[in-house]
A = this chain, B = another copy of it.
């Protein structure tokens, strides 16, 4: 690398997604171009707030300069009490800048500003990170009025109107899928990405029409594997179909007759898109990471006074 390239790689600002479940940093240069991307703390899921400054410094060490670099951070940082106090309560704009606070730093080459999450009092619900994707989406779709579905470990359905989060609902779908997949005793070799669309759709529509049968259908997957040669691919597809079917059933007040956008990881978003399509519900699909970085850019501009 030449000296010139080194100069051009000094960061202007850094976006940090903290603990969801791993922590990541996107490093931007002075023309707001992405110059580097890092996974923090070797991808450990259990970083504590005290790890924030050292892991960020390590990740951006080759991009440090003379002036303090602004780090904008989303996620669960600091004590739970402080986080909740800082959070905005629905109905509210996705990013509550009034609640943003500085994380303690000892190195003068960085400042860390933590963005607050969003809470809903009744029914109790909580959001930490998705609000940036929502902010990015609303920035690019300013007239959007409808529902944003953010699929993931804790999938969120968010009612947006006039640029604000009106209400939202979180489903444990992804976490349950992970728990039940790990628990399954089946060790047949199967590529993670393999999928059986028909098994998925059958299980989904079956669960939507009789959600009360979930826990015995879950045991049935194991019994079908043992007795009827159900493959691991079919079992995984059916398991996800059941859980997404239950979710779509519970989220019906959100998607029925509404304009829908799915903002998430492309593979998972496609599954939600096809599930909604089977219910004759069209959806706009947007890349979650792109929307999140757009949200971070809005936050950085606001914090640094560039807007």
List the 6 closest pairs (A to B, CB-CB), nearest first: A212-B249, A124-B223, A211-B212, A170-B219, A171-B215, A211-B211
Q: Which residues of B contact A124 (CB under 8 A)?
A: 220, 223-224, 226-228
Q: CB distance B121 to A250 under 8 Å?
A: no
Which of B121, B176, B214 contacts A246 (CB under 8 A)?
B214
CA distance A172 to B184 in the complex (A): 12
Q: List 25 A-B contacts (CB under 8 A).
A: A80-B226, A84-B226, A119-B223, A119-B227, A121-B228, A123-B216, A123-B220, A123-B223, A124-B220, A124-B224, A125-B219, A125-B223, A126-B222, A126-B223, A126-B226, A126-B227, A171-B219, A175-B183, A176-B215, A179-B180, A211-B211, A212-B249, A213-B250, A215-B246, A215-B247
Tell me which of A125, A172, A218, A226 has the highest count of chain B C-beta atoms within 10 A of its own C-beta: A172
Closest to A249 in B: B212
Interface residues of A in 151-202 (CB under 8 A from B): 154, 169-173, 175-176, 179-180, 183
Q: Quick one: closest B residue to A127, CB to CB?
A: B223
Q: Does A135 contact B (CB under 8 A)?
A: no
Q: Is the CB of B214 within 8 A of A214?
A: yes
CB pair B183 A214 closer than 8 Å = no
Q: A residues engaging B (CB < 8 A)?
A: 80, 84, 119-121, 123-126, 154, 169-173, 175-176, 179-180, 183, 208, 210-216, 218-220, 222-224, 226-228, 243, 246-247, 249-252
Task: From known contacts A121-B227, A124-B227, A125-B219, infer whether A212 and B172 are also in contact, taking CB-CB under 8 Å.
Answer: no
Tally of this chain's copies: 2
Measured CB to CB, the closest approach of chain B to A287, in angstroms, equals 24
Assembled-state Cα–Cα distance A214/B224 (Å): 24
Separation of A213 and B211 alpha carbons in the complex (Å): 9
In the complex formed, the residue of B with least CB distance to A230 is B124
Shortest distance between the CB of A220 and any CB in chain B (Å)? 6
Contact partners of A246 in chain B: CB under 8 A: 212, 214-215
Minimum CB–CB distance for A155 against chain B, Å: 9
Q: Which residues of B contact A251 (CB under 8 A)?
A: 216
Picked from B80, B126, B154, B215, the residue with its CB within 8 Å of the CB of A172 is B215
The residue in A175, A216, A247, A249 that gathers the most chain B C-beta atoms within 10 A of its C-beta is A216
Cα A183 to Cα B170 with chains together (Å): 16
With a cutoff of 8 Å between Cβ atoms, the chain B residues found around residue A212 in the complex are 208, 211, 246, 249-250, 252
Minimum distance in angstroms from A132 CB to a CB of chain B: 19
The residue of chain B having its C-beta at the shortest distance from the C-beta of A228 within the complex is B124
How far is B209's CA from A183's CA once the two chains are assembled, in angstroms? 29
Flag if A170 contacts B223 (CB, 8 Å): yes
B residues in contact with A173, CB < 8 Å: 215
* Docked pose: A176 CA to B239 CA in angstroms: 14
CB-based contact B214/A169 at 8 Å: no
